[in-house]
Amino acid sequence: MTDMNDLEIRAATVDGVERLVARDAGALILAERDGVLAGTVIAGFDGWRCHLYRLAVHPGQRRRGVGTALLAAAEERFTALGGRRGDAMVLDRNALAQHAWRAAGYAPEGRWSRWVKHLTP
Ligand SMILES: CC(C)(COP(=O)(O)OP(=O)(O)OC[C@H]1O[C@@H](n2cnc3c(N)ncnc32)[C@H](O)[C@@H]1OP(=O)(O)O)[C@@H](O)C(=O)NCCC(=O)NCCS
């Protein structure tokens, strides 16, 4: 059953994707297999840093190289734009994701932690 929280999260996500596409459509990278959306990643470049986020592959399409192809496409975009180092936030408890990021050549930098401040209530 869908509850209000799910609906709010989905609405926020749709708004976010619309803003992203309006601002920098090339950052949204989609993988298609047999005419069906198989996975996505956002490759955001601000002129300085190369941020990768929302990497996700449909459960039925995993371990077939889709994640690898998405990251390769993102890195190609970054290097074409002049970026030199990609980074991603990966949850410490997300072992599956860590396997995929490591396989693609990424490694954690233990001396940093994420600092945040919410800008809207
Ligand atoms: C993480 C994720 C995007 C990987 O996508 P994928 O298409 O399955 O990845 P690939 O097929 O390109 O796998 C590349 C390599 O990553 C490693 N890997 C991927 N999934 C793995 C798993 N379940 N167990 C161990 N290693 C894994 C392997 O080394 C794999 O190479 P191999 O298949 O030749 O052994 C996918 O599992 C996913 O959508 N997970 C849920 C969302 C998520 O956690 N996203 C990351 C947020 S930071």
* Closest CA to ligand 1's atom 36: 57
For residue 116, being part of any structural domain is answered with: no
Ligand 1 centre to CA of 5 (Å) is 28
Is the sign of the CA dihedral 66, 90, 19, 26 positive or negative? Answer: negative
Please state the atom number of ligand 1 nearest to the C-alpha of residue 97. 1
67: enclosing H helix or E strand: helix 66-81
For residue 91, being part of any structural domain is answered with: yes
Count of domains in the chain?
1
CATH code for position 41: 3.40.630.30
Which range marks the domain in which residue 95 is found? 19-103
Ligand 1 centre to CA of 21 (Å) is 26
**pLDDT at residue number 8:** 63
For residue 26, being part of any structural domain is answered with: yes
CA atoms of 55 and 38, how far apart (whole Å): 11
**pLDDT at residue number 121:** 82
Q: What is the pTM of this model?
A: 0.93
For residue 37, being part of any structural domain is answered with: yes
Please report, in tens digits, the pLDDT of each residue of the chain (121 residues total): 446 566 665 667 899 999 999 999 999 999 999 999 999 999 999 999 999 999 999 999 999 999 999 999 999 999 999 999 999 999 999 999 999 999 999 999 999 999 999 998 8
For residue 92, being part of any structural domain is answered with: yes
CA atoms of 41 and 57, how far apart (whole Å): 9
